[in-house]
Amino acid sequence: MLQKLHRSQLPAGESLCDYCTAKCCRYFALPIDTPTTDRDFDFVRWYLVHESASLFTEGETWYLLVHTKCRHLGEDNRCGIYETRPQICRDYHTDECEYDESWTYERYFEVADQLMEYREALAGFKAVTPVRKAKPQVLSVIG
């Protein structure tokens, strides 16, 4: 494994990707609606009961973060489909990548209990009501 250099120490002619652990290829994040009701929080809680999912906020925007490695990431942390990679990958550049970033978020939730504690700390919220209705009664068959 190569020594991690600060981007300012990158030797001329070398790519930052040669020194990177490919953080950008090990997750994806999607903006979601900000939860405001019990029902919203219960839906967002559902995300967190799944493995490899977490939530964070950036400003006032909420994101679902899915920790999953790209299927085409090679053992050398390079793209296995570089020439045919998706446009979102083509638009991503090393001059603004997270190579030497250590992100912290104002709100970061890894498990459902953290989210529910946050919800309970907000004024005016009642206990979460189940999203699903009770199982309907079985009707007798007429015949």
Q: What is the pLDDT of residues 87-137, one digit of tens each?
A: 999 998 877 777 777 778 889 999 999 999 999 888 555 555 555 556 666
Q: Are 111 and 48 in contact (CB under 8 A)?
A: yes
Q: Poorest-confidence range of 16-20, 55-59, 70-74, 136-140?
A: 136-140
Whole-number pLDDT of residue 142: 63
CA atoms of 16 and 95, how far apart (whole Å): 9
Q: What are the distances in angstroms from CA 97 to CA 7, 49, 52, 131, 135? A: 10, 29, 22, 39, 49
Tokens (6 digits) for 109: 């939730």
Q: Poorest-confidence range of 6-20, 29-43, 53-67, 79-93?
A: 6-20
**What 3-state class would DSSP assign to 27?**
coil
Mean pLDDT confidence for 32-56? 95
Predicted confidence band at 43 (pLDDT cuts at 50, 70, 90)? very high
With respect to residue 44, please indicate whether it lies within any of the assigned structural domains. yes
CA atoms of 82 and 87, how far apart (whole Å): 11
pTM, two decimals, is: 0.74
Rounded to 5 degrees, what are φ and ψ at 123? -70, 145
- The structure tokens 């250099």 sit at 5
Mean pLDDT confidence for 59-81? 95
With respect to residue 93, please indicate whether it lies within any of the assigned structural domains. yes
Q: How many domains does the chain contain in total?
A: 1
With respect to residue 37, please indicate whether it lies within any of the assigned structural domains. yes
With respect to residue 140, please indicate whether it lies within any of the assigned structural domains. no
With respect to residue 38, please indicate whether it lies within any of the assigned structural domains. yes
Q: Which domain holds residue 105?
A: 7-119
Mean pLDDT confidence for 17-33? 90
Whole-number pLDDT of residue 122: 83
With respect to residue 86, please indicate whether it lies within any of the assigned structural domains. yes
With respect to residue 63, please indicate whether it lies within any of the assigned structural domains. yes
With respect to residue 95, please indicate whether it lies within any of the assigned structural domains. yes
